Chains A and B, each alone.
Chain A
Amino acid sequence: MAAIDPVAYLRATPPFDALPEEVFTSAARSLEIAFFPAGNRLVRKGGEPLRHLYVIRKGAVRLERDGQTLQLLEEGETFGYTSLISHEASMDVVVEDDLLAYRLPQAQFELLLAQARFAGHFAGELAERLKSSLEQSQVATFRADLSVEVQQLVRRPPVRVPEATTVGEAARVMREQHISSVLVDSEPVGIVTDRDFRNRVLAEGLGPDTPVTRVFTRGLKTVAAEAPIYEAWTMLIDSGVHHLPVVKGKEIVGVVTANDLLKATAQGPVAVLRRVEKLAGRDQLPGYGARVTEMTSALLAGGLDATVIAGFVARLNDALVHRILRWAEEQLGAPPCRYAWIVSGSEGRMEQTLLTDQDNALIYEDAGKGSEAWFRALAERANDDLEAAGFPRCPGGYMAREWHGPIGEWTERFRGWVADHGPQPLMRAAIFVDYRKVSGTLDLASFEAAIQRAGKDRLFLASLAKAALDARPPASLLLRLKGESSEVNLKAHGITPIVHLARCYGLEVGTDRRNTLERLDAAVRAGLMGPDARELVGGAFRFLLGLRLRLQLRAVADGRPVSNLVPLAELSALERSRLKDSFRAIKDWQEKASYHYRTDLF
């Protein structure tokens, strides 16, 4: 008979979902259902501790200490474990909304603690919980760098057998070494793989005494050690082999398998990059955005962190910009002087996951003052091409067709914004502080110097910090993720507060990194931020970016418009709980920052 509803519900609720079937079934036999009306105090600090682990099915409870609400727990969340583990009541638990709870007696809970994943769920504090959610989705072997060379995938020197070896001996060597192929020392060198044993030995009715030379392959396809990974990938696809010897000069230094490559490259970005490099003309631009979305989706499904995916997207967009600018130059003739194409905002920080509004600008040498028309034409073409590729125009108008000029003027303009402190100039300064040069030969050192100087301006920093602290998680969301606020704006309430504050810290410590996580790291190195806070805030940022990306991809798949709003009903209990943890981490950080920047004095 199918599990009755309460049991099925419990099974789907973390950490019960991690239990082996028999263990869960046995525990579920002790399951109880309890109802407590609102206002009921289940436990009092210092009083009798709770004797059960509770899972909220309906309603909510408030955790209090000395009359201060610490946390509000809702559907799908658990409580009681601090009582059960410490055998004392360290806080009050008060029923906020009529509570229907499923509960397990202490003895059962203690039995379940023998299960590592179950126990792990309760073991950690806030940071641990955030961290473990991220670690589950991490592919540790992944490299975000597209230019990785094949030799970096070689884990060991190749294993060789003499030419006179039998199939049986070769198989034993492979078993001992845990490998799926061996090289045969013949002239030229050959290879025999576990597939050969299946297809050419067993399927042909041959025995273990068969000479290996009867079934091996010679005339090997090899790949140069210095070749980028995507070349090896293409070779494997084109030749249909699964093992690729890697050569340095004439020496075989190792064998990479299709599996190694799959793990290391996540063919997605490689494939899209090749397509960008092969784009023949602007009529091929439409569809770029869709391809990036597909890739993003595949990488996310593959368990890659959203911040890492954003790194790929940025590299691909950069390659596209290069391509587009080359076309424009071909049409307009050689540039009259050196220039730089910069991107700002999330593109500048390399935090864009799906294509969003264009944020770009064009800076050229002061010597090019008379050639404004040429640069305007370049910008217009590039903006149009980017739009064709799937980057909508920026509604605020931060596009190179409006924002172009000689570097001297640029720098002056930026200084003016910094000195002004008004809301509009402040916002502009913030946008361009996040700039990144994507293409062009112009050196931007003087512009960079102006940004570094801005970081020494206390008043500018404080204004920026004040604006950053205005974007805060709404107080109601810190406790409740239900009721009136059935939607959360992940960007306004979560991502933006982190990005803005990280920018303040980054400026203050004078780092040239623009990425939010790298700014946080720089703040830690400079002693402005503790490693614990970095862990919490960074974890929250990665979680929020990942959650937003997942929801946006779902919207894309359903043909709905992409937005930053999340209906809370669409989140799992675990996600809701992580969301609250994230908001709490942001709030704590903001409190420290408001003290640091003395924004209370404004």
Chain B
Amino acid sequence: MFFRSPPWESVAFWALDLETGGLDVRRDPILAVGMVPVREGVVRLGEAYQSLVRPPGAASIGEKSIRAHQLLWGEVREAPPAAEVLSQVDARLRQGALLVHQAGIDVAFLRRAYAAAGLAWPRPPVVDTVELILKAARKARFLNPENPELPSLNLAVARREAGLPEYQAHDALTDAVATAELFLVLRRKIAARTLRDLR
């Protein structure tokens, strides 16, 4: 059966970034969530959502990640628990698509947290800006086979190459905004018209 994919402007893309206690999906907790929607092709800062997440009592935050995020134990201790934050996240993901940079990591963390909280993963369409970078590079190579340059997948570098401003902060919300902006540039680059073109 053939479903027509909706035009991209009609989809709400919720850009999301997580800060976690480490890179181990099985062990490390989510410490912060930042989300911002792209509606009708525009980033709506006013609808941005961000929250710290109180990790389960036993979990400890890895030293490295504390330094990377400048999050302190004291800050997250007062934060709402994961289940509460996830219900906020869930309400947003059900509006449309999930937009992340490096979907592999963040989606895995989210799904694990959902499961731990006894929630059902809403299975939103996932758009990954890393995939879009690769798509754009393939398109560029197709147009110009002489150009063997490998694209950079790092968010900050990819943004620089896309001509986007450099953001100093790297909290979850700033990175979500950064991802949303990069998405707008890449969407145009690959001339995607529908949600399917973006996946």
Determine how close the nearest CB of chain A comes to the CB of B72; give it in whole angstroms. Answer: 14
Contact count band on B: 20 to 34
Determine whether A6 belongs to the interface, using a CB cutoff of 8 Å to chain B: yes
Within 9-44 of A, Cβ neighbours of B (below 8 Å) are at 9, 28-35, 37
Docked CA distance A30–B48 (Å): 10
A28 partner residues in chain B, CB cutoff 8 A: 45-46
Docked CA distance A9–B164 (Å): 14
Determine whether A146 belongs to the interface, using a CB cutoff of 8 Å to chain B: no
Q: Are A5 and B43 within 8 A (Cβ)?
A: no
Docked CA distance A100–B164 (Å): 7
Q: Are B45 and A33 within 8 A (Cβ)?
A: yes
Determine whether B86 belongs to the interface, using a CB cutoff of 8 Å to chain A: no
Determine whether A4 belongs to the interface, using a CB cutoff of 8 Å to chain B: yes
Say which residue of B48, B174, B188 sits within 8 Å of A5 (CB atoms): B174
Q: Which residue of A lies closest to B176 (CB)?
A: A4
Q: Are A4 and B177 within 8 A (Cβ)?
A: yes
Q: Are B181 and A31 within 8 A (Cβ)?
A: no
A33 partner residues in chain B, CB cutoff 8 A: 42-43, 45, 177, 180-181, 184
A4 partner residues in chain B, CB cutoff 8 A: 45, 48, 169, 171, 173-174, 177
Say which residue of B45, B168, B188 sits within 8 Å of A6 (CB atoms): B45
Say which residue of A5, A7, A37, A97 sits within 8 Å of B165 (CB atoms): A5
Say which residue of B44, B163, B164, B167 sits within 8 Å of A32 (CB atoms): B44
Docked CA distance A28–B174 (Å): 15
B168 partner residues in chain A, CB cutoff 8 A: 5
Determine how close the nearest CB of chain B comes to the CB of A8; give it in whole angstroms. Answer: 9
Q: Which residue of B lies closest to A31 (CB)?
A: B45
Docked CA distance A30–B43 (Å): 10
Determine whether B50 belongs to the interface, using a CB cutoff of 8 Å to chain A: yes
Determine whether B192 belongs to the interface, using a CB cutoff of 8 Å to chain A: no
B167 partner residues in chain A, CB cutoff 8 A: 5
Q: Are B164 and A31 within 8 A (Cβ)?
A: no
A1 partner residues in chain B, CB cutoff 8 A: 50, 171
Answer whether A32 and B174 are a contact pair too, CB < 8 Å, given A58-B163, A59-B163, A100-B165: no
Determine whether B125 belongs to the interface, using a CB cutoff of 8 Å to chain A: no
Q: Are A29 and B181 within 8 A (Cβ)?
A: no
B96 partner residues in chain A, CB cutoff 8 A: none
Q: Are B164 and A30 within 8 A (Cβ)?
A: no
Q: Are B45 and A58 within 8 A (Cβ)?
A: no
A34 partner residues in chain B, CB cutoff 8 A: 41-43, 184
Determine whether B185 belongs to the interface, using a CB cutoff of 8 Å to chain A: yes
Determine whether A121 belongs to the interface, using a CB cutoff of 8 Å to chain B: no
Q: Are A98 and B41 within 8 A (Cβ)?
A: no
A5 partner residues in chain B, CB cutoff 8 A: 165, 167-169, 174, 177
Q: Which residues of A contact B (CB under 8 A)?
A: 1-2, 4-7, 9, 28-35, 37, 57-59, 97-98, 100
Q: With contacts A4-B169, A7-B45, A100-B164 known, what are 13 further pairs, Cβ within 8 A? A: A4-B48, A5-B167, A6-B177, A31-B45, A32-B44, A32-B45, A33-B45, A34-B42, A35-B185, A35-B188, A59-B163, A97-B163, A98-B185
Q: Which residues of B contact A (CB under 8 A)?
A: 41-46, 48, 50, 163-165, 167-169, 171, 173-174, 177, 180-181, 184-185, 188
Please name 15 pairs of A and B residues whose Cβ atoms are closer than 8 Å in the assembled complex, sorted by A. A2-B169, A4-B173, A28-B45, A28-B46, A32-B44, A32-B45, A33-B42, A33-B177, A33-B181, A34-B42, A34-B43, A34-B184, A35-B188, A58-B163, A100-B163
> What are the 5 A-B residue pairs with the smallest beta carbon separation, nearest first?
A33-B43, A35-B184, A31-B45, A29-B46, A5-B167
